[in-house]
């Protein structure tokens, strides 16, 4: 793109018919950018188009780890395109653009870029249909030397943050390009295939195989789209407000099964409480999947996925509160850039504090004060900046704990009424899209004029060192001031957070 502009300038200088040539050159098709330009993940996403829908139609054979089928992408171009990139690592057999074969280069540099050159350039603002056919063993595929796909004894899992899509479907892999999804996966009858949203139906097209068709009708980020294949106990219920509530428990949970169910089956109750704090639950379905195949939990849209180890120490409603709080903070309102991770983890952790107070354990004020008091000023904990932790420390404990204390510091500063008004307005105005910390700060300033909100968030999110004033203000209220004893729920919250650390590069 930049080269074309430079060429235009040169042409304008040397040619008498400068105006005419400039307009012709400016309209020339250019390659779409290979990235959205997120500094934390320089390869993530692409430029030149906006995806509205993914139709993922696959078959998976657990015995060989062979994944094959097609993904059909419906997109609109945002510039005239001579070629464009998708993020994908698997072997591609063909690419059609508007039903015409395109040339392509698939993961040639091992960086997960699928470069597609259509037979003819694409006009700006045009609807485009891209069909990518592929067949590969995802567990053998490395992108930038890294593997996200988890092969299990009886299936596989595609659950990770922030990079997982490229191991099972081609996409514009950045939260700024959300889309709706149909995920239809055929697997042997002995296992099930789980994903997000509603289970539209299961069908049997050939002997011994069942096709599971899932649909997400709300905008969904690519990394929050998941696939879990294996032996699971699947429970289909409805929430009190008549939404599908589908849970699944790995057949090998053993002793953890009871505690897992005692936690995840409470999801509708927990979401009902969270809705009183953040506003209406944003999606069309609820649920949860528990598996021994991963050691962390992730807030996959409508259906979080929990590593079974989160329930080894007993029931863990706090973990369920954390992952479901992300349905608002992270899923419905996704990060605009990955440096905005505080908007996800600070608030999901603070939701654990709110839940703790709701069930009569430690109050939010006590928990935030305990985090502050239990970390001495020289602890490296205070050197991590929740507002811009760096890609390597994106999931550092400080993003969660200092991040949650920062949320409470904001609450102390503006008072309960304005605090919950900020949260609910943020959700209502950003629903289905993305948000930046700067935008959140501006909203808080607008709702609480005259309060030093910007200065407070600067100290808590962007300044190394322990803030001089604690999360309950310079003089904490009496109950909070004596939080030198660990609040009852603190261990449970830490246990939940320990099971929320994601694998990432």
By the criterion CB under 5 A, which residues form the site for Zn ion?
A: 345, 348, 500
Instruction: Please say which residue, 86 or 423, places its beta carbon nearer to Zn ion.
Output: 423
Residue 339 CB, nearest approach to Zn ion (Å): 16
Dihedral angle of Cα 466, 471, 473, 474, to the nearest 10 degrees:
-30
Residue 395 CB, nearest approach to Zn ion (Å): 8
Residue 491 CB, nearest approach to Zn ion (Å): 18
Question: CA-CA distance, 268 to 279, in Å (whole number)?
Answer: 14
Handedness of CA 38, 42, 48, 50 (dihedral sign): negative
Tokens standing for 264?
């995840």
Residue of minimal CB distance from Zn ion? Answer: 348
Instruction: Please say which residue, 73 or 317, places its beta carbon nearer to Zn ion.
Output: 317
C-alpha gyration radius of the chain? 24
Residue 190 CB, nearest approach to Zn ion (Å): 33
Instruction: Please say which residue, 305 or 348, places its beta carbon nearer to Zn ion.
Output: 348
Question: CA-CA distance, 151 to 135, in Å (whole number)?
Answer: 16
Residue 348 CB, nearest approach to Zn ion (Å): 4
Question: CA-CA distance, 303 to 299, in Å (whole number)?
Answer: 7
Q: CB-based burial of residue 19 (10 Å sphere; 0-12 exposed, 13-18 middle, 19+ buried)?
A: exposed
Residue 329 CB, nearest approach to Zn ion (Å): 9
Question: CA-CA distance, 439 to 11, in Å (whole number)?
Answer: 41
Residue 318 CB, nearest approach to Zn ion (Å): 12
Instruction: Please say which residue, 266 or 500, places its beta carbon nearer to Zn ion.
Output: 500
| Beta-sheet strands, E only, within 326-414 | 334-335
Residue 177 CB, nearest approach to Zn ion (Å): 22
227 vs 86, 155, 164, 248, 447, CA distance in Å?
20, 10, 10, 12, 40
Dihedral angle of Cα 227, 231, 233, 237, to the nearest 10 degrees:
30
Instruction: Please say which residue, 331 or 345, places its beta carbon nearer to Zn ion.
Output: 345
375, 466 Cβ separation under 8 angstroms: yes
Instruction: Please say which residue, 92 or 397, places its beta carbon nearer to Zn ion.
Output: 397
Instruction: Please say which residue, 182 or 345, places its beta carbon nearer to Zn ion.
Output: 345
Instruction: Please say which residue, 243 or 500, places its beta carbon nearer to Zn ion.
Output: 500
């Amino acid at each position: 793109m930049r080269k074309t502009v430079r060429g235009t300038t040169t042409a304008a200088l040397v040619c008498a018919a400068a105006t005419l040539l400039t307009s012709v050159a400016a309209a020339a098709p250019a390659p779409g950018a290979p990235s959205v330009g997120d500094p934390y993940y320089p390869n993530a996403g692409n430029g030149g188009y906006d995806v509205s829908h993914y139709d993922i139609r696959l078959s998976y054979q657990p015995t060989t780890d062979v994944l094959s089928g097609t993904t059909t992408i419906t997109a609109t171009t945002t510039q005239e395109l001579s070629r464009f990139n998708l993020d994908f690592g698997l072997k591609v057999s063909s690419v059609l653009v508007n039903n015409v074969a395109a040339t392509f280069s698939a993961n040639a540099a091992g960086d997960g870029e699928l470069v597609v050159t259509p037979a003819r350039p694409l006009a700006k603002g045009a609807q485009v249909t891209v069909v990518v056919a592929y067949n590969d063993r995802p567990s053998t595929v490395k992108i930038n030397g890294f593997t996200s796909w988890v092969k299990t004894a009886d299936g596989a899992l595609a659950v990770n943050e922030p990079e997982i899509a490229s191991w099972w479907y081609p996409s514009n892999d950045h939260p700024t390009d959300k889309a709706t999804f149909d995920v239809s996966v055929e697997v042997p009858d002995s296992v099930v295939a789980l994903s997000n949203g509603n289970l539209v139906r299961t069908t049997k097209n050939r002997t011994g195989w069942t096709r599971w068709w899932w649909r997400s009708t709300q905008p969904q980020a690519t990394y929050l789209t998941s696939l879990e294949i294996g032996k699971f106990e699947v429970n289909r219920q409805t929430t009190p407000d008549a939404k599908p509530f589908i849970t699944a428990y790995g057949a090998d949970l053993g002793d953890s099964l009871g505690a897992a169910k005692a936690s995840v089956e409470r999801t509708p109750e927990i979401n009902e409480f969270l809705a009183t704090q953040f506003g209406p639950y944003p999606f069309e379905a609820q649920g949860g999947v528990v598996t021994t195949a991963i050691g962390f939990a992730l807030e996959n849209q409508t259906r979080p996925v929990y590593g079974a180890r989160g329930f080894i120490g007993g029931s863990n409603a706090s973990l369920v509160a954390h992952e479901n709080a992300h349905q608002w903070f992270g899923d419905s309102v996704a990060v605009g850039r990955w440096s905005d991770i505080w908007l996800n983890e600070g608030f999901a952790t603070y939701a654990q504090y709110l839940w703790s107070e709701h069930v009569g354990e430690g109050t939010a004020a006590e928990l935030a004060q305990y985090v502050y008091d239990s970390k001495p000023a020289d602890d490296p904990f205070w050197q991590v900046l929740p507002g811009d932790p760096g890609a390597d420390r994106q999931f550092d404990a400080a993003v969660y704990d200092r991040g949650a204390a920062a949320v409470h510091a904001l609450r102390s500063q503006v008072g309960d009424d304005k605090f919950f008004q900020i949260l609910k307005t943020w959700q209502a105005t950003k629903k289905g899209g993305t948000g930046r910390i700067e935008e959140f700060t501006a909203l808080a300033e607008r709702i609480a004029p005259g309060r030093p909100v910007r200065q407070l968030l600067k100290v808590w999110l962007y300044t190394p060192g322990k803030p001089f004033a604690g999360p309950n203000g310079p003089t904490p209220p009496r109950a909070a001031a004596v939080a030198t004893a660990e609040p009852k729920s603190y261990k449970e919250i830490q246990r939940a957070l320990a099971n929320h650390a994601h694998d990432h590069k």
